[in-house]
């Protein structure tokens, strides 16, 4: 495929959510012609102020755009969107390209590639590392799977939305790399939550603890902002807890399939799930609250135990 340019290619964007919206906006502001579709039409309509247009259907968008990007919440949503008579592949022109940016199981990306090739459509799985602030600043990191020539042809898109982009291998490789990276993201957040709970339990003042911890070399850049937001009790979603929970499930499924042992990931998944059970739409950093809560409950239980022992002695 020839190199994609703002002047010659029409982009379609499906899934204008937490990550999709700022990515689509940056593409529009850089001069690309872009048509958006979302099941919640109001989300797509928000892009009209930046020059975007709104599609009435996936089929309509796919038939008039020669590069279709998608950013969706689940494997089921991705497969449903691309397959079927009303899906992307049935309505896209031969020689067009799709770039799925969703976090999905690698086999899902491979299935998309197979379905696309049957229709003469090039398929890339280009996954995202970074939260909404990074997307707004064009500072994401991307991992690409699929044909390298197609990946190189789409570089003009990647330069607009990302600070770094890497080709990592054939179809499914982008999805796999994302799960590897999110393993560190999720375990790292759990480790921070445990460290914070330990420090508080040992008598350190919470705000000073969070501030100092955020300035140490051991906290990754992706987690620094989480500590700063925790200082003011802000757990509003930049990367929602429910999506981290979904990713943990994908990671552990992949681990089981390839025979990798991941005890730390399994433990982090359990804490993430307990916080998700609270029912609030929170950032994945809210596991800090779960560990603080657990530390508090443990203190109460120990206090009751001591009282019980004292009463028995009397």
Query: Is 178 an active-site residue?
Result: yes
Residues 247 and 179 sit within 8 Å (Cβ to Cβ): yes
Residues 10 and 65 sit within 8 Å (Cβ to Cβ): yes
Whole-angstrom CA distances from 311 to 29, 113, 305 are 71, 69, 10
From the list 10, 43, 164, 178, the catalytic residue is 178
The Cα–Cα gap between 280 and 296 comes to 20
DSSP assignment, residue 3? Answer: P
**DSSP per-residue letters across 171-218:** TTHHHHHHHHHHHHHHHHHHHHHHHHHHHHHTT--HHHHHHHHHTSTT
The Cα–Cα gap between 45 and 223 comes to 32
Catalytic residues: 178
């Amino acid at each position: 495929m020839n190199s994609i340019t703002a002047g010659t290619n029409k982009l379609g964007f499906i899934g204008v959510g937490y990550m999709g919206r700022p990515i689509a906006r940056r593409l529009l502001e850089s001069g690309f012609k872009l048509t958006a579709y979302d099941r919640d039409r109001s989300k797509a309509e928000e892009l009209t102020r930046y020059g975007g247009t709104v599609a009435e259907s996936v089929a309509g968008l796919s038939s008039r755009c020669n590069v279709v990007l998608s950013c969706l919440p689940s494997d089921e949503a991705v497969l449903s969107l691309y397959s079927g008579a009303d899906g992307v592949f049935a309505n896209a022109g031969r020689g067009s390209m799709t770039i799925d940016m969703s976090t999905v199981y690698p086999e899902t990306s491979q299935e998309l590639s197979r379905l696309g090739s049957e229709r003469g459509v090039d398929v890339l799985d280009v996954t995202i590392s970074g939260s909404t602030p990074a997307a707004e600043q064009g500072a994401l990191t991307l991992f690409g799977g699929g044909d390298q020539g197609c990946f190189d042809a789409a570089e003009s898109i990647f330069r607009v939305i990302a600070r770094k982009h890497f080709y990592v291998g054939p179809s499914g490789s982008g999805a796999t790399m994302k799960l590897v990276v999110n393993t560190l993201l999720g375990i790292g957040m759990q480790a921070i939550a445990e460290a914070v709970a330990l420090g508080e339990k040992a008598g350190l003042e919470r705000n000073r603890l969070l501030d100092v911890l955020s300035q140490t070399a051991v906290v990754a850049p992706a987690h620094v902002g989480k500590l700063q937001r925790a200082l003011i009790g802000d757990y509003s979603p930049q990367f929602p807890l429910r999506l981290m929970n979904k990713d943990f499930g994908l990671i552990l499924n992949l681990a089981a399939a390839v025979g990798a042992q991941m005890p730390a990931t399994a433990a982090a998944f359990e804490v993430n799930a307990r916080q998700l059970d609270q029912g609030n739409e929170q950032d994945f950093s809210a596991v800090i609250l779960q560990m603080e809560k657990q530390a508090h409950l443990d203190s109460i239980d120990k206090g009751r135990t001591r009282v019980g022992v004292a009463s028995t002695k009397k």
